[in-house]
Amino acid sequence: MDEHYHPNKIEQEAQRYWEEHRVFKAREDSAREKYYCLSMFPYPSGRLHMGHVRNYTIGDVIARYQRMLGKNVLQPMGWDAFGLPAENAAMQNKVPPARWTWDNIATMRGQLKSLGFGYDWERELATCDPGYYRWEQWLFTRLFKKGVIYKKGGVVNWDPVDQTVLANEQVIEGRGWRSGALVEKREIPMYYFRITAYADELLAGLDHLPHWPEQVKAMQRNWIGKSRGMEVHFPYAPSPRSFPGAGEGGSKEVLKVFTTRPDTLMGVTYVAVAAEHPLAAQAAANHPQLRAFIEECKKGGVTEAELATQEKKGMATGEFVIHPFSGEKLPVWVANYVLMAYGEGAVMAVPAHDERDFEFAAKYGLPVKQVIRPTDGELSSPLTAAYTEPGILCNSAEFDGLDFEGAFHKMEDALKAKKLGASRIQFRLRDWGVSRQRYWGCPIPIIHCAACGDVPVPDDQLPVRLPEDIVPDGSGNPLAKLSGFYETTCPQCGKPARRETDTMDTFVESSWYYARYCSPDTTGGMVDERARHWLPVDQYIGGIEHAILHLLYARFFHKLMRDEGLVTGDEPFTRLLTQGMVLAETFYRVRENGKKEYFFPHEVTVERDAKGRTVAARLNSDGRPVTVGGIETMSKSKNNGVDPQELINKYGADTARLFMMFAAPPEQSLEWSDAGVQGAYRFLKRLWAAVFDNSSFLSAGAGRENIDWKDAVSEHAAVRREIHQTLSQINYDMGKRQFNTVVSGAMKILNALERAPGGKTPAPGYSQIIHEGLGILLRVLAPITPHITHCLWREFNFGGDIVDAPWPEVDESALISDTMDLVVQVNGKRCGQIRVASGAARAAVEAAALADPGVKRHAHGKQLKQVIVVPGKLVNIVVTE
RNA sequence: GCCCGAGUGGCGAAAUUGGUAGACGCAAGGGACUUAAAAUCCCUCGGCCUAAACAGCCGUGCCGGUUCGAGUCCGGCCUCGGGCACCA
């Protein structure tokens, strides 16, 4: 064995060994419990970043650990290969997106292999492969026939100069990112998935995912946004003008609103509509000021945070509606706090019981009418703030005295009798528009025929292949200019027809890849019976940024596939782990134009004070100070990213993996630290040295004679006890997926082993301890640092390969000690420590505690009230104060 | 504004769910080895008081409460992250 640790050499050897022996090939085996461990697949952007390394290390640690527990593990990897960046790169480099994408995949596959992840590469897939997207098209045609997919108009960003549709991220401050032209809103036909039909199931299913983070479930619940409420119709009051377009899609004589607080209906003092509401447009026709106000509303801030702090503004339309019960004439206002996209785009305003309405009414001098009182007590009059709690109705005529539920039902009956409303469930969730006017995506398998309409492409004509040799020029969708692509014939009537040139949202591909991995090679269907063997995914790992869209769409797709009989079960992912971000320190100077110029860490020298605190930093090139900008997410724009490849080249994959696991628990953010990386490397060097130092007798087969530990020197028995105690803690932490303390446990084991008294002629038990301790240590580390442990395990012939070695077991007998140390407290304050025999009776423990000098000092002159004994932990003497 | 999190040494963090606060590591300081450097090894390392202490006091964002005992539970505040589509 080599005296020194050479990571690059042993890592290449281990990786070659795994590949040659197809160690990670997953085979269906009904005799063993299956475990499907999946990390979110990457977009092939060109190179791995630290976020990938963290994500995939966490997944690999879990997969390898489960394998050592005896499970039959599947851990696949693939590529989320369609998307906008490939088109941008194509334009820049004049290379077709397909070529660019496949080149990137080759590079990144090599990087993943150099990190030693235990993937079954025989199941690799890329979503831009026709063998993959063919089945997506197949499912699309089925769902289209079923009505789960339908066509309707959708609003897009239109760049009038480039004559193209822009993604939201391509719109910068209202202008096209390339042309700089003012972006227009345009309505075009698009295909939609009817995800709202599954809203209830998607919401209820969250309650059956106990191993998902609460935060993610809360975000999905808010996104689906189910509320029970009432649709209320307000008839229009007679007016000099009529509104032919008012109340689009419904009756022309009423203004519809949706409310979750029908109990406050008698407190309505005005009605407010969104700026985009048809009624607003109608009223503005002869009202220039209103028209100007509506334009202003449309321009205003778009983010919620901006809107929340923004001043409430409105303007009366001059129109009125009639209250359904009181017959009162109520003014209709346009208000900037009403959203067109939710409910009816109109609200009934109850200033007394809604904070926003209260603020608005106060500003514009609209009346406030209290109709709810608390169950106990009264409100001050006049109201100084909205009372938003549910309570008892008052000032509400025949509804007085009812509570929320009572009022809800009585109001509904009364509204139904007048045909002016009914209860209903409102979701925030909207149907999922999947049409993209882009080239590098999965073609939508529809043919437009003048006679037959939208005809799905028949199975025997699938896949609709995307031409792969095109370089887009940024103006419009190249497919729409490619007659060879769009000219076709109608599958129904055989006449000339036009193929759909839109492609699908890339979220569609990533919504079912987890299922395809089970049978990636099947040409007979989307999935085959192997999907029923492996699904659901037992553990899914990825970034919190996918908490809503990706995870919701994948859950939706699983239900669609279930309803097609393709998979069983209701949910795709049993456990979810959302890993934290990778952060690093930033250094910058503010330039004259006010913009920050960021510097790489290697360009600056940090100055520290005597305690090691960072006090200042200087730029190496000019020696002048730079600002220490704090810890932020790694990004190109802040020059604080660290390239994983450099790290691997310098220290090896094991050091990179060890540091990632040790620096923070998986779900928390992780701060990059060069010194921390060196610390991880130092530990691996010490591990190597510990094995090397004992190699002579280990390789001679020593340490396997099973001595009786009672004969061993007490130091050796103590070391062994510490090792097994630590192993017990490691097992607990592994169950919690708290890998940072697993690493700390491994470090403790090595520290303990180094303390075991050895020497030229070691006492009985030494070789035994080293053999047993190193055997445990290597296995505990194997999931985290697979290469060095693979190498050392083989070096000493511990038996077989460490990937398949059984996870070590705690020897309970090693934990037993003759004596134990207990902490003694007086009134809960620690004041000493006693050593008693392990089996000591309570009376003996109390006596020993009372005899302790510390106790005597603290309890002197006070009266004993009580003695609390926590077995194995402490004794608390309670005395009078 | 609303919904989630989180506040513990110079730093990253730990504390097996109410029982010794700061494990493990990093940084820093001191020492050994070396011609020297790197590497390695040993010692110190929350604060205050003290010549020193295995003597005492304080200490887990702040204020209060429950308890024999609170980083952990409860109430009220403060600060910092993350998410958001003013959701009627």
Q: Nearest nucleotide to A831 by CA–C1' distance?
A: B20
Which one has a higher pLDDT value, A241 or A830? Answer: A830
Kindly provide the b/e burial profile for residues A542-551, where b requires at least 16 CB atoms within 10 angstroms of the residue's own CB.
Answer: bbeebbebbb
Residue type, position A805, single letter? A
Helical residues (DSSP H) of A764-862, grouped into ranges: 766-781, 786-795, 812-815, 842-851, 853-859
Q: Nearest nucleotide to A732 by CA–C1' distance?
A: B16
Q: Take residue A234 and report the two structure tokens written for it.
A: 């307000």
DSSP A777-799: HHHHHTTTSHHHHHHHHHHTT-S
Burial of A399 (0-12, 13-18, 19+ CB in 10 A): buried
What CA–CA distance (Å, rounded) separates A743 from A781?
7
Closest CA-bearing residue to C1' of B81: A669
Q: Which residues contact A172 (CB under 8 A, 6 or more apart)?
A: none
What CA–CA distance (Å, rounded) separates A107 from A105?
5
Q: Nearest nucleotide to A865 by CA–C1' distance?
A: B68
| pLDDT score of A664 | 92
Q: How far is the CA of A729 from the C1' of B44 (A)?
A: 29
* Residue A526 predicted with pLDDT over 90: yes
Q: How far apart are the first and last CA of chain A?
A: 66
Q: Give strand pairing partners of A36.
A: A74
Q: How far is the CA of A673 from the C1' of B37 (A)?
A: 24
What CA–CA distance (Å, rounded) separates A156 from A164?
10
pLDDT tens by residue, A274-289: 888 888 888 888 889 9
Residue found under tokens 């997944």: A59
Q: How far is the CA of A172 from the C1' of B88 (A)?
A: 31
| Nearest in space to A87 (alpha carbons), one of A445, A476, A443 | A476
| pLDDT score of A572 | 95
For residues A342-351, average pLDDT: 88
| pLDDT score of A673 | 87
Closest CA-bearing residue to C1' of B26: A676
* Residue A157 predicted with pLDDT over 90: no
| pLDDT score of A614 | 64
* Residue A702 predicted with pLDDT over 70: no
Q: Nearest nucleotide to A547 by CA–C1' distance?
A: B83
What CA–CA distance (Å, rounded) separates A340 from A346?
7
Residue found under tokens 């307000």: A234
Of the pLDDT bands very low, low, confident and very high (cuts 50, 70, 90), residue A249 is: very low
Of the pLDDT bands very low, low, confident and very high (cuts 50, 70, 90), residue A303 is: low
CA distances from A752 to A129, A612, A683, A777, A816 (A): 53, 29, 14, 11, 17
Q: Nearest nucleotide to A214 by CA–C1' distance?
A: B4
Q: What is the DSSP letter of A300?
A: S
pLDDT tens by residue, A163-211: 777 776 677 666 777 778 877 777 789 999 999 899 999 999 998 898 9
Q: Which residues contact A689 (CB under 8 A, 6 or more apart)?
A: A5
Q: How far is the CA of A91 from the C1' of B76 (A)?
A: 59
Q: Nearest nucleotide to A338 by CA–C1' distance?
A: B86
pLDDT tens by residue, A5-54: 999 999 999 999 999 999 999 999 999 999 999 999 999 988 999 999 99
The H or E element containing residue A447 is strand A446-449
What CA–CA distance (Å, rounded) separates A235 from A517?
57
Q: How far is the CA of A685 from the C1' of B39 (A)?
A: 11
Return the beta strands (E) in A160-259 as ranges: 164-166, 171-172, 175-176, 184-193, 227-235, 254-259
pLDDT tens by residue, A112-133: 999 999 999 999 999 999 999 9
| pLDDT score of A223 | 86
Closest CA-bearing residue to C1' of B13: A664
Q: How far is the CA of A584 from the C1' of B80 (A)?
A: 18
Q: How far is the CA of A572 from the C1' of B31 (A)?
A: 60
* Residue A243 predicted with pLDDT over 70: no
* Residue A242 predicted with pLDDT over 70: no
Q: How far is the CA of A483 from the C1' of B12 (A)?
A: 60
Closest CA-bearing residue to C1' of B40: A686
Q: Nearest nucleotide to A854 by CA–C1' distance?
A: B55
CA distances from A783 to A48, A617, A658, A777 (A): 21, 38, 10, 11
Return the beta strands (E) in A518-656 as ranges: 537-543, 573-579, 582-590, 596-599, 604-608, 614-619, 625-633
Q: Which residues contact A356 (CB under 8 A, 6 or more apart)?
A: A312, A337
Q: Nearest nucleotide to A226 by CA–C1' distance?
A: B87
Closest CA-bearing residue to C1' of B82: A544
What CA–CA distance (Å, rounded) separates A78 from A117?
13
Q: Is the separation of the CB atoms in A759 and A733 below 8 Å?
A: no
Helical residues (DSSP H) of A694-782, grouped into ranges: 695-699, 714-736, 739-755, 766-781
Closest CA-bearing residue to C1' of B29: A610
Q: What is the DSSP letter of A330?
A: E
Residue found under tokens 């492969």: A129
Q: Nearest nucleotide to A345 by CA–C1' distance?
A: B88
Put the strands of the sheet holding A254-259 in their side by side order.
A254-259, A227-235, A421-426
What CA–CA distance (Å, rounded) separates A785 from A423?
59
Angle at CA A337, nearest 5°, toward A331 and A342?
A: 95
* Residue A239 predicted with pLDDT over 70: no
| pLDDT score of A247 | 40
* Residue A577 predicted with pLDDT over 50: yes
Q: How crowded is the C-beta side of A693, counted as CA atoms within 13 Å?
A: 14
Lowest-confidence region among A187-191, A255-259, A406-410: A187-191
Q: Is the separation of the CB atoms in A456 and A145 below 8 Å?
A: yes
| pLDDT score of A482 | 92
Q: Nearest nucleotide to A346 by CA–C1' distance?
A: B88
Q: Nearest nucleotide to A335 by CA–C1' distance?
A: B86
* Residue A411 predicted with pLDDT over 90: yes
Q: Which residues contact A138 (CB under 8 A, 6 or more apart)?
A: A445, A459, A462, A526
Q: How far is the CA of A528 from the C1' of B2 (A)?
A: 45
| Nearest in space to A435 (alpha carbons), one of A191, A150, A185 | A191
What CA–CA distance (Å, rounded) separates A474 from A477?
8
Of the pLDDT bands very low, low, confident and very high (cuts 50, 70, 90), residue A154 is: confident
Helical residues (DSSP H) of A418-544, grouped into ranges: 483-486, 506-509, 513-516, 530-534
Q: What is the DSSP letter of A42?
A: P
Q: How far is the CA of A732 from the C1' of B61 (A)?
A: 30
Which one has a higher pLDDT value, A276 or A380? Answer: A276
CA distances from A520 to A139, A198, A517, A538, A635 (A): 16, 27, 5, 19, 34
Q: Nearest nucleotide to A300 by CA–C1' distance?
A: B86
Q: Is the separation of the CB atoms in A228 and A260 below 8 Å?
A: yes
Helical residues (DSSP H) of A475-548, grouped into ranges: 483-486, 506-509, 513-516, 530-534
Proportion of chain A above pLDDT 90, given as a percent: 51
* Residue A833 predicted with pLDDT over 80: yes
Lowest-confidence region among A26-40, A157-171, A532-546, A700-714: A700-714
Q: How far is the CA of A744 from the C1' of B56 (A)?
A: 34
Q: How crowded is the C-beta side of A284, counted as CA atoms within 13 Å?
A: 20
Q: How far is the CA of A62 from the C1' of B12 (A)?
A: 23
pLDDT tens by residue, A626-665: 877 777 778 777 777 788 898 999 999 999 999 999 999 9
Q: How far is the CA of A830 from the C1' of B59 (A)?
A: 14
On strand B, nucleotides with any atom < 7 Å from a protein CB are 1-5, 10-17, 19-21, 23-29, 39-42, 55-57, 68-70, 81-88
Angle at CA A66, nearest 5°, toward A659 and A778?
A: 50
* Residue A248 predicted with pLDDT over 50: no
Q: How far is the CA of A205 from the C1' of B15 (A)?
A: 35
| pLDDT score of A251 | 43
What CA–CA distance (Å, rounded) separates A176 from A166?
7
Give the number of other Cβ atoms within 10 Å of residue A476's Cβ: 17
Closest CA-bearing residue to C1' of B23: A744
For residues A478-501, average pLDDT: 94
Cα torsion A471, A475, A478, A483: sign = negative
For residues A664-689, average pLDDT: 92
Q: How far is the CA of A662 from the C1' of B22 (A)?
A: 17
| pLDDT score of A602 | 73
Q: Is the separation of the CB atoms in A425 and A230 below 8 Å?
A: no
Compute the residue count for chain A: 881
Parallel, antiparallel, or unpaired: how do β-strands A34-39 and A537-543 relate?
parallel
The H or E element containing residue A79 is strand A78-79
The H or E element containing residue A653 is helix A653-662
| pLDDT score of A245 | 45
What CA–CA distance (Å, rounded) separates A466 from A82?
11
The H or E element containing residue A156 is strand A149-159
Closest CA-bearing residue to C1' of B41: A686
Give the number of other Cβ atoms within 10 Å of residue A301's Cβ: 12
Q: Take residue A476 and report the two structure tokens written for it.
A: 């419009």
Range with top average pLDDT, A250-254, A735-739, A763-767: A735-739
Residue type, position A644, single letter? P
Residue type, position A277, single letter? H
| Nearest in space to A578 (alpha carbons), one of A51, A223, A206, A140 | A51
Q: What is the DSSP letter of A236?
A: B
Any idea of the CA torsion for A501, A505, A506, A507, to the nearest 10 degrees?
Answer: -160
Q: What is the mean pLDDT of chain A?
A: 87
